[in-house]
Amino acid sequence: MTLSQGQAAALDGPGEKAPDTEVSQVTHDPLLSIGVFARRSRLSPKALRLYDRLGMLPPARVDQASGYRWYRESQLALARLVAMMRRLDMSLPQVSAVVSAPAARRAELVGSFWDGVERRIAGQRELAAHLRIRLAGEEGSYPMYEVKEREVPEQLVLTEQRHVQVEDLPDWIEAAMKRLLASAQGYGGPAEAPFVVYHGEVNEDSDGPVEVCVPIRPDREPVAESAIRREPAHREAYVRIPKAQVEFPQILSAYDAVAHWIAKQGGGAAGSPREVYFTDFGAAGPNDEVCDVAWPVS
């Protein structure tokens, strides 16, 4: 069956031209005007023209004289997929990557994107909690933290220390930790959880110094090129935090909570604060507990 000019005009809306008789023929996969396709896909004509320019969703036919675009009904599935990804706030390059990927990889790419969103939201949640604590003042502001105490025996540690700016701190800690863990294999592997000692503050105005330590067994013969020292036995107060809170500045709330607890106990700090990483940080999710923020106490 062939649409009359009047029927095509009614379908396309005011001012839209109908295709010639050959392409307007109703088939199992009919041509749709850009207006109809936009309504059915829930994408605006402006967005469809943009996606055409980007090569993500080209029309099935373009009128050479008028430049008017026509789409196949079968293209609606892809158009709706694009619309849904945009509602997830995926960027155009991210959407394009999914569209151009083999069908078997598309779910993986969307999953990877959403994992990143959840990491970002988890980090923002912790940052918001940190800001609320800061703005509310110290008194009664730390119910989210459970401060505990423990005894830590003397440890022999491989060590690497340097002054480092806050923006470079995560990369340097990761690199130094990898180097020391590799060196620890010469001593039979790490004996306890690695930790990072802050001998001075690290913020926008101060660069530490910071020391990364990997405990090793004390009965192994020292290797000449390894820097080694003994960490004295001590008692420490600590709080356990998830991966999302390890980032600066939200981690400062954990340090403040421990310092506030120590002050309320009437004691004092007996050493430099530190972060003890007791699990595989890279494999952990944003809400997984990965780190103890600790402070030696007298």
Ordered by start, the domain boundaries in the chain are 5-100, 148-297
The first and second tokens of residue 242, run together, are 């998830």
- pLDDT recorded at residue 102: 93
The number of angstroms, rounded, from the C-alpha of 271 to the middle of its chain's C-alpha atoms is 33
Distances (CA, A) of 178 to 4, 190, 214, 292: 73, 12, 10, 19
Kindly state the helix (H) or strand (E) to which residue 136 belongs, with its residue range.
helix 103-136
CATH architecture of 5-100: Orthogonal Bundle (1.10)
The number of angstroms, rounded, from the C-alpha of 95 to the middle of its chain's C-alpha atoms is 18
- Compute φ and ψ for 154, nearest 5 degrees: -60, 140
Contact 190, 216 (CB under 8 A): yes
Contact 270, 297 (CB under 8 A): yes
Kindly state the helix (H) or strand (E) to which residue 269 belongs, with its residue range.
none
Residue type, 12: D
* Number of Cβ atoms within 10 Å of the Cβ of 212: 26
> Where does residue 48 rank: exposed (0-12), middle (13-18), buried (19+ CB within 10 A)?
buried
Give the Cα separation of 233 and 129 in Å (integer).
34
- pLDDT recorded at residue 120: 84
Q: Any idea of the CA torsion for 36, 58, 73, 65, to the nearest 10 degrees?
A: 60
Distances (CA, A) of 9 to 32, 70, 259: 12, 14, 75
The first and second tokens of residue 285, run together, are 């999710």
- pLDDT recorded at residue 223: 66
Output the furthest CA–CA distance in the chain (Å, rounded): 93
Question: According to CATH, what is the number of the domain 148-297?
Answer: 3.20.80.10
Give the Cα separation of 13 and 32 in Å (integer).
12
Q: What is the pLDDT along the chain (298 residues), one digit of tens a residue?
A: 333 333 333 334 444 444 544 444 455 889 999 999 999 999 999 999 999 999 899 999 998 888 899 999 999 999 999 999 999 999 999 999 999 999 899 999 999 999 888 888 877 887 787 777 777 765 445 667 899 999 999 999 999 999 999 889 999 999 999 999 999 998 889 999 999 999 998 887 889 899 999 999 987 766 656 799 999 999 999 999 999 888 888 888 899 889 989 988 887 888 999 999 999 988 888 889 999 999 999 8
- pLDDT recorded at residue 144: 73
Give the bridge partners for 235, in sequence order.
151, 297
- Verdict on whether the full-model pTM lies above 0.85: no
- pLDDT recorded at residue 24: 45
Residue type, 176: A
Kindly state the helix (H) or strand (E) to which residue 73 belongs, with its residue range.
none
Contact 45, 35 (CB under 8 A): yes
